[in-house]
């Protein structure tokens, strides 16, 4: 039976440390770190994500600033809002909640955010630092950074291991593959065009999956004793599920993240971590 990698507990531990750190920083600087969240339109899922992020900020003492913008806002006007936040010295982190309405370019907005305030870790400058393993010099994407915290917390060795990343998005798959490579794992990246996916997954000591395809990974696709990180999240018949057939795979894996309660809580926690880090870097700590 696999060890359950508990994202809620690990999150709680990290947030506890952040709360203490925020308190100390506020005493030194005279204000807490501040995160600006930009929400365009009224997408229901985005509303929930933003509410959860603002609540999490409150829990650790980070000041949150919410910017709600109409769905029909122009690219130029959105860029102007981001520019104002870039130039505001009392703002340490900026996120623009994705997805955006179709007429807006995610890439243009992400590129417009100042790299030192890009707490999502999506800007090309931070992506480059992630690729090169310069973690101390930049802000790393939250979900991959959260996954790496699991390996650190649970003492899971990566060096020399066969690691397979299923999914190659710019937000999760590519940066996590780079992080695994920087930790000296031997990394294969699989995606929608990969032929014979099971050939790769069966050889994985470390299997990370981020596709959004419910139950994609079955027990017969997993190596005995593998560590399985399920990053996917979908709703099936009203139930939140992951990319992995959890109930069956947990019988073969040595460790596995549940959905919900695994990687999800860590993503928001690493956003808080990045906001505090951005504040410290800007203040010269």
User: Token pair of 284, please?
Assistant: 């010269």
120 is catalytic: yes
159 is catalytic: no
97 is catalytic: yes
Q: 120, 230, 243, 245: which is the annotated catalytic residue?
A: 120
Full 3-state SS string of the chain: CCEECCHHHHHHHHHHHHHHHHHHHHHHHCCCCEEEEEEECCCHHHHHHHHHHHHHHHHHCCEEEEEEECCCCCHHHHHHHHHHHHHCCCCCEEEECCCCCCCCCHHHHHHHCCHHHECCCCCHHHHHHHHHCCHHHCCCCHHHHHHHHHHHHCCCCCCCCEEEEECCCCCCHHHHHHHHHHCCCEEEEECCCCCCHHHHHCCCCEEEECCCCCCCECHHHCCCCCEEEECCCEEECCEEECCECHHHHCCCCCEECCCCCCHHHHHHHHHHHHHHHHHHHHHCC
Q: 6, 92, 97, 250: which is the annotated catalytic residue?
A: 97
Q: 53, 117, 250, 252: which is the annotated catalytic residue?
A: 53
Give me the active site residues, please: 53, 97, 120
């Amino acid at each position: 039976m696999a060890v359950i990698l508990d994202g809620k507990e690990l999150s709680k531990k990290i947030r506890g440390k952040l709360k203490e750190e925020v308190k100390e920083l506020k005493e030194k600087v005279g204000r807490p770190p501040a995160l600006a969240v930009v929400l365009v339109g009224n997408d229901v899922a985005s509303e929930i994500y933003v509410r959860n992020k603002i609540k999490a900020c409150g829990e650790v003492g980070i000041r949150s600033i919410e910017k709600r913008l109409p769905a029909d806002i122009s690219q130029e006007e959105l860029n102007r809002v981001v520019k104002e936040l870039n130039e505001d010295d009392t703002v340490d982190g900026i996120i623009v909640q994705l997805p955006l309405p179709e007429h807006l370019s995610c890439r243009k907005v992400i590129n417009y955010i100042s790299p030192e305030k890009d707490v999502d870790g999506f800007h090309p400058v931070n992506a480059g630092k992630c690729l090169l393993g310069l973690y101390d010099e930049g802000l790393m994407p939250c979900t991959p950074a959260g996954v790496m915290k699991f390996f650190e917390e649970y003492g899971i060795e990566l060096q020399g291991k066969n690691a397979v990343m299923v999914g190659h998005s710019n937000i999760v798959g590519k940066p996590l593959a780079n992080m695994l490579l920087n930790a000296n794992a031997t990394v294969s990246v699989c995606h929608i065009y990969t032929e014979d996916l099971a050939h790769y997954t069966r050889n994985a000591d470390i299997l990370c999956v981020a596709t959004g395809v419910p139950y994609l990974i079955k027990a017969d696709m997993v190596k005995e004793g593998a560590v399985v990180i399920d990053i996917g999240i979908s709703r099936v018949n009203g139930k939140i599920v992951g990319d992995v057939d959890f109930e069956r795979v947990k019988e073969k894996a040595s460790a596995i993240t549940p959905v919900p309660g695994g990687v999800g809580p860590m993503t928001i926690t690493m956003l808080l971590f990045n906001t505090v880090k951005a504040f410290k870097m800007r203040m010269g700590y």
